[in-house]
Amino acid sequence: MAKVTGAMLMARSLKQQGVEFMYGIVGFPVQPIAAAAQEVGIKYIGMRNEQSASYAAQAAGYLTGRPGACLTVSGPGVVHGLAGLANAQQNCWPMILIGGAAPTYQNGMGSFQEENQVQIASPFCKFAHAVEHVERIPFYVEKAVRQSIYGRPGATYLDMPDDIIQGEVEEDDVQTFATVPEPPRMAAVAENVTAALDAMESAERPLVIVGKGMAWSRAENEVRAFIERTQLPFLASPMGKGVLDDNHPLSVGAARSHALKEADVIFVMGARLNWIMHYGLPPRFKKDVRVVQLDISPEAIGDNVPTEVALVGDGKTIVGQLNTELENRQWFYPADTDWKAAIAEKAAGNAAAIQPMIDDNSTPTNYYRALKDISAWATEDAVIIGEGANTMDIGRTQLPNASPRLRLDAGTYGTMGIGMGFAIAAATVHPERPIISVSGDSAIGFSGMEIETACRHKLPIKIVVLNNGGIGQGIAEFPTDAQIPPGILTIGARYDLMMEAFGGKGFLVNDPADLAGVLEEAKAFDGPTLVNVILHPQAGRKPQQFGWLTT
């Protein structure tokens, strides 16, 4: 009788369940899993830190609709991978962390890298379990995959002890399970569909907020049809960007604060009224703003503000229901309202306020001027990754997306250091697309060693570092008579030379006049590049009415 190892069974089960990408670091005891993964045709990317590997796995999950896998060694490897589990759980993105573990027969003995791994992973997971019999591996993989993508997507953890990885069972004894079908698409209660449209129709100043739940649900066609049919103004969340074109005439992105503050009825679809949406509360929102809420998770209904109409179920299906019901209605939101005029006026005012910074050609440059050239250079099919405080915040306003699931950033958890993992995932999932990662100099530092991973795998990621020499802002000169302030980094640090060190191409840009040409050179280079743009240390954001964290 033929026998199969736990490692091979794990790889086979993942492949059967549609897991196509694995990111990890090998060592004791997981090396055989990585080897088996390659054998069965899973794309394996060896990374330099499990943190980045776990970020990559969830981005692959979000982009493909099936969870990405992250493979780590025991103990510290799993601990590093927890960063990504937490981030995936907060972003509602699917991934499976597979942690190696000390052999079960040494449990409790102080064995090599022994840790209570299931216990420490559990707070960040929808499902976390140790595999205790080799023949049950397909059971656990099916369960982990299903849990990660059904309902609100999220993270799962499987613990693989050394004796399970190396253990062998007869093929005939292996338990087999069906491949998890696409998540069921639940429809909303019909009367709530009517009530939702009634609520929008009754609004004086309506606003639709489109979140990344709609991108995950692949609802772009339905959402576009809904917005164009109703003519309702909409705001995309940071990663909801692209579900509708950011340059759509009904986008209120350029008048975000005003639109949120004055709307009387908001339709929150696939987004949460958390810190990113200022909890739906004053001063960022009107007191007692009326809420129509579409979410796959019933527990989310009414979070922070009461919901007037709840549409519980799948985004694509429910917006489809709304569109069908609209066929029997005449109503649409007119073009010539005070509300649309006020939004347009505010947007024009905001655009005028930043124009001098966009036009400022002085050296060293500022964020807006640098992003002007980056925006012109980024093609519409590119995946854009953003991280860093000002770099990401200003980038959200200055780098548009035209199509869904092409924007990845620090997200719900506000995690710095996701950039390289996300870029590597995007490059592996979308080899046909340009991958552009725009990082602050602090942000790139968290996982800069993954530049080596990109070079080794010949992933042609185009990195741009907006380098102001600090966290937040930098300083013009290091003090000689005082300690280095906590947020200050090396002035003019040569991140471009890190890229050169590993075989990619690096560029240093001191004068913004050179930026457009250098970006074109980077694009033409067939491999990873890093363009290091030196910014004025005090460059900042346009003055805001509210800081990001204003409650």
Report the candidate in 501, 443, 483 with the shortest Cα–Cα distance to residue 467: 443
Q: Is 296 in the site for ligand ADP (CB under 6 A)?
A: yes
Preceding peptide of 283 cis, ω within 30°: yes
The option from Mg ion, ligand ADP, none interacting with 440 (CB < 5 to 8 A, set by class) reads Mg ion
Segment interacting with ligand ADP (CB under 6 A) among 104-112, 293-301, 359-367, 418-426:
293-301
First-to-final CA distance of the chain = 65
Amino acid symbol at 510: N
Give, as one character, the DSSP assignment of residue 404: T
Q: Which of 15, 143, 146, 272 binds ligand ADP (CB under 6 A)?
A: 272
Segment interacting with ligand ADP (CB under 6 A) among 45-53, 268-276, 281-289, 342-350:
268-276
Find tokens 């960022």 and name the residue. 284
Give the phi and the psi of residue 168 in degrees, each rounded to 5: -125, 145
Q: Is 276 in the site for ligand ADP (CB under 6 A)?
A: yes
Is there a contact between 193 and 321 (Cβ–Cβ < 8 Å)?
yes
Report the candidate in 363, 355, 413 with the shortest Cα–Cα distance to residue 387: 413
Q: Which is nearer to ligand ADP, 239 or 443 (CB)?
A: 239
**String of contacts with ligand ADP for each residue 315-344, x by CB under 6 A:** x-----------------------------
Please provide the DSSP assignment of 231-260 as one string. ---EEE-TTTTTSS-TT-TTB-GGGHHHHH
Q: Which of 38, 116, 247, 297 binds ligand ADP (CB under 6 A)?
A: 297
Q: Which is nearer to Mg ion, 441 or 450 (CB)?
A: 441
Minimum CB–partner distance for residue 153 and ligand ADP (Å): 6
Rg (CA), the chain: 24
Number of residues that bind ligand ADP (CB under 6 A): 24
The option from Mg ion, ligand ADP, none interacting with 141 (CB < 5 to 8 A, set by class) reads none
Pairing of strands 3-5, 168-170: antiparallel
Is there a contact between 99 and 158 (Cβ–Cβ < 8 Å)?
yes
Q: Which is nearer to ligand ADP, 11 or 311 (CB)?
A: 311
Q: Sign of torsion, CA 453 457 458 464?
A: negative
Q: Is 314 in the site for ligand ADP (CB under 6 A)?
A: yes
Report residue 165 as tokens.
């990885």
Report residue 297 as tokens.
């998770």
Count other Cβ atoms within 10 Å, centred on residue 127. Answer: 19
**What are the distances in angstroms from CA 216 to CA 61, 154, 321, 434?**
10, 12, 18, 21
Q: Is 92 in the site for ligand ADP (CB under 6 A)?
A: yes
Segment interacting with ligand ADP (CB under 6 A) among 267-275, 337-345, 376-384, 517-525:
267-275
Pairing of strands 407-409, 461-467: unpaired
Q: Which is nearer to ligand ADP, 40 or 189 (CB)?
A: 189
Q: Which residues contact 216 (CB under 8 A, 6 or more apart)?
A: 62, 65, 92, 93, 153, 270, 315
Q: Which is nearer to Mg ion, 98 or 489 (CB)?
A: 489
Q: Is 212 in the site for ligand ADP (CB under 6 A)?
A: yes
Q: Which is nearer to Mg ion, 441 or 452 (CB)?
A: 441
Q: Is 91 in the site for ligand ADP (CB under 6 A)?
A: yes
Residue ranges that bind Mg ion, judged by CB under 5 A: 440-442, 468
Q: Is 393 in the site for ligand ADP (CB under 6 A)?
A: no
Q: Which is nearer to ligand ADP, 91 or 192 (CB)?
A: 91
The option from Mg ion, ligand ADP, none interacting with 441 (CB < 5 to 8 A, set by class) reads Mg ion
Q: Is 237 in the site for ligand ADP (CB under 6 A)?
A: yes
Count other Cβ atoms within 10 Å, centred on residue 421. Answer: 34
Q: Which of 77, 99, 167, 213 binds ligand ADP (CB under 6 A)?
A: 213
**Contacting positions for ligand ADP (CB under 6 A):** 91-92, 152-153, 211-213, 216-217, 237, 239-240, 270-272, 274, 276, 295-297, 300, 314-315, 412
